[in-house]
């Protein structure tokens, strides 16, 4: 399940404009995703994009998990 969550988040986050690198690691109950943006991307805008993408995944996960 951890890699399923990480994979979904990676797919969504990888579409953010100005993303330079994306790396992740997963363990039994933990996923860590690190994003690096280009210097011309304002940090507040990038942070809001990340929040929006994570929220979208959380909503989708709740819907998918509750339908099982």
Task: Report the pLDDT value the prediction gives residue 61, as an integer from 0 to 100.
Answer: 74
Task: Report the pLDDT value the prediction gives residue 28, as an integer from 0 to 100.
Answer: 82
Q: Provide the mean pLDDT of the chain.
A: 87
- pLDDT tens, residue by residue, 49-63: 999 999 998 887 765
CB 5 within 8 A of CB 31: yes
Instruction: Identify which has the larger pLDDT, 4 or 34.
Output: 34
In terms of C-beta distances under 8 Å and separation of at least 24 residues, what long-range contacts does 51-54 make, across chains too?
53/9, 53/12, 53/13, 53/15, 53/16, 54/9, 54/12, 54/13
């Amino acid at each position: 399940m951890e890699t399923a969550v990480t994979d979904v988040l990676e797919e969504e986050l990888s579409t953010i404009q100005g993303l330079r690198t994306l790396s992740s690691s997963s363990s039994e109950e933990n996923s860590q995703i690190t994003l690096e943006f280009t210097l011309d991307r304002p940090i507040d805008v990038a942070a809001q994009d990340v929040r929006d993408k994570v929220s979208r995944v959380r909503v989708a996960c709740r819907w998918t998990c509750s339908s099982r």
